[in-house]
């Protein structure tokens, strides 16, 4: 009989494979079903831990968000004030009024808005592509996958001063 030498519980491995598949194939091929599978596996694992099973190492959503950010956002955005970037740095985005980072030329629509960035408003902003929005200067392709959005928002929240 062959015994596996992997110490990772099967359900944690399944969750990591699902997350990895989302990164490899990209958000355009990641479905809501994938996100639900990851959530279901996580809930099953949490239930088995509550029943006395050994816990797998905790999944660090912010760390995953840092990876997604570096792949999808860092071409334009920096994460530290003073770093050179073509779009505003996002180190203090949570709680900042939209269109207010000094040194950037915002569209009148964004600069004149009363929007203050929160986890919810960032999640909504990232959910929709602004590529075809003519009155927005800083455009993005959006993140269709809810887990990826949550991860990026978690990462950005971790950067607060």
Give tens-digit pLDDT for 45-101: 555 555 555 666 778 999 999 999 999 999 889 998 888 888 889 998 999 998 898
Domains of the chain listed by start with CATH number = 1-59 (no CATH), 61-161 (1.10.760.10)
pTM: 0.62
Q: Which two tokens stand for residue 154?
A: 């978690």
Picking from 155, 147, 144, the residue whose alpha carbon sits closest to that of residue 67 is: 155
Measured distance between the N- and C-terminal CA atoms of the chain, rounded to whole angstroms: 54
In tens, the pLDDT along 7-57 reads: 444 444 444 444 554 444 444 444 455 556 555 555 565 555 555 556 667
């Amino acid at each position: 009989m062959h015994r596996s030498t992997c110490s990772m519980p099967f359900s944690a491995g399944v969750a990591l494979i699902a997350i990895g598949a989302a990164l490899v194939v990209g958000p355009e091929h990641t479905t809501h079903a994938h996100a639900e599978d990851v959530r279901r596996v996580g809930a099953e694992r949490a239930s088995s831990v509550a029943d006395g099973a050994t816990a797998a190492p905790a999944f660090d959503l912010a760390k995953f968000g840092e990876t997604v950010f570096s792949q999808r956002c860092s071409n334009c955005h920096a994460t530290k004030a003073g770093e050179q970037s073509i779009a505003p740095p996002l180190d203090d985005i949570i709680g900042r009024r939209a269109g207010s980072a000094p040194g950037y030329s915002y569209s009148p629509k964004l600069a004149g808005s009363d929007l203050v960035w929160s986890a919810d408003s960032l999640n909504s902003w990232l959910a929709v592509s602004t590529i075809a929005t003519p009155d927005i200067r800083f455009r993005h392709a959006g993140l269709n996958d809810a887990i990826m959005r949550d991860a990026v928002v978690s990462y950005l929240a971790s950067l607060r001063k």
